Structure 1
């Protein structure tokens, strides 16, 4: 069973593209999509890590906030938070639209309806599998100076309990759709094997978390390996989206609710 899990059979869908012009088109599409979405975020994240390493303070003595104020006026800040979440939704929608234009239906990448209960249960299980050990790994990485102090939210307005869940779902939707469903499908069309595609997807996931430090990179690579393999084995994307949402929801909303009430929270 372990060997089967480590080396899944080549899926029948989609078939590798053999036409050289179509293959070039897929490569160009991948470059464009990730140049305006998570690939660009990865480059910015790398520069952020380099900047942190050049400072005199060790990484653990520096902090990075995931949800920050975007305007001095509360109304404008609220609107900009909504726009940021909307951007994440459109990133995922872009990947799905391009697959659809290429003749690939949403159900074929694991977004079929009608199994919400099973998908939610699977998502909750994945969230527990990744979230609990992930928190422990973060604390260890921070203790040894390999990670910045991550502050889930620096917002302090009543409406944060509206925007933080949207941010959590936006992150989950954009990342799982683009980095798993879209990217691995396109890599399959280019003839890349399942393990190689999984590795590319996981390293990309880790790279746009480099701003958190080396621990953030490694932890998210591991998360990518687990999530990506689950998708390859089950062809269900909703459990990944729901698991990611639950992890971020607990981190964002939980932190906002407990900040100032629990002494060990930064």
Structure 2
């Protein structure tokens, strides 16, 4: 049976209009740039994450009895702790800004990757839809993976209940989403297009890397983020709206971080 038009368009999006580089020197420079960006940002995070999972698996304690905190205290003194949390947020913002800046230097306007304000209403609706599409099944996958012992227990936050906890958690959610979607989707896929990679190959590469830097969460986090990368990446390839992805990712993280802070210790099903 022939595929429907909708299925064909999902599997193979039309050419994006980014011409592959033909000059060998230019290709080497772009390839080197990609390696440097990934080394100082999320690629190195994937290596650390894989080593963290290996260490966890080698522990005598079962994987699902070990806990990982996504937003953990880093200092004893309150104001120092706040400063360190904001420094982490600034680092993530800087990672995303680096990807955006390099695209600008390469001649890509921000509107070319969907970072403009021409469709705020549609972007907001799309963000809510993506958050629901990924967030609800993702929670289910995590609970199943933890139940069968292939995922650690994830605590979205272990920060003390201070006046700045909620603002920092919201800022952290936006910083995470900005860094990941700009670097992994807009920057990486655009650069891979210039290197002559097909849309599907670039899509799977960024999805696999996205899963890789979540390996510290166990198999559930790895698989769930690969799926998220495939969905988010393909949506961007089809719509060219990056704000939609940033917003959807931020909503997922805000619900996880703030919801956990509000419900932890009050409901029995939440670890």
The answer to whether 1:212 aligns with 2:207 is no
Please identify runs of 4+ aligned residues in structure 1 that moved more than 6 A: none
Aligned counterpart in structure 2 of residue 28 of structure 1, from 4, 29, 32: 32
Distance in 1, matches of 2:265 and 2:146, equals 21
Q: TM-score when scaled to structure 1?
A: 0.98
> Which region of structure 1 is more displaced relative to structure 2, 188-197 or 107-116?
107-116
Query: Which residue of the partner structure matches residue 184 of structure 1?
Result: 189
Query: Which residue of the partner structure matches residue 164 of structure 1?
Result: 169
Query: Which residue of the partner structure matches residue 45 of structure 2?
Result: 41
Distance in 1, matches of 2:115 and 2:85, equals 27
- TM-aligned CA deviation for residue 112 of structure 1: 1.4
RMSD: 0.7
Query: Which residue of the partner structure matches residue 76 of structure 2?
Result: 72
1:145-172 deviations in whole A, cap 9, x for unaligned? 1100100001013211110000000000
- TM-aligned CA deviation for residue 7 of structure 1: 1.3
Distance in 2, matches of 1:214 and 1:26, equals 32
1:101-120 deviations in whole A, cap 9, x for unaligned? 01111000111112111101
- TM-aligned CA deviation for residue 184 of structure 1: 0.1
Residue-pair matches, total: 265
Query: Which residue of the partner structure matches residue 203 of structure 1?
Result: 208
Query: Which residue of the partner structure matches residue 250 of structure 1?
Result: 255
1:80-138 deviations in whole A, cap 9, x for unaligned? 10110011001000001011001111000111112111101000000000000110011
Q: TM-score when scaled to structure 2?
A: 0.96
Query: Which residue of the partner structure matches residue 52 of structure 1?
Result: 56
Q: What SS does the corresponding residue of 1:94 show, helix, strand or coil?
A: helix
Q: What SS does the corresponding residue of 1:224 show, helix, strand or coil?
A: helix
Q: What SS does the corresponding residue of 2:158 show, helix, strand or coil?
A: coil
Distance in 2, matches of 1:142 and 1:10, equals 40
Query: Which residue of the partner structure matches residue 239 of structure 1?
Result: 244
The answer to whether 1:4 aligns with 2:4 is no
Q: How does 1:216-231 map to 2 (within 5 A)?
A: 216-231=221-236
CA contact (8 A) 1:10 1:193 kept: no
Question: Where does the alignment leave 5 or more consecutive residues of structure 2 unmatched?
Answer: 1-5
Distance in 1, matches of 2:119 and 2:126, equals 11
CA contact (8 A) 1:99 1:182 kept: yes
Query: Which residue of the partner structure matches residue 109 of structure 1?
Result: 113
Question: Where does the alignment leave 5 or more consecutive residues of structure 1 unmatched?
Answer: none
1:198-218 deviations in whole A, cap 9, x for unaligned? 000100100000000011100
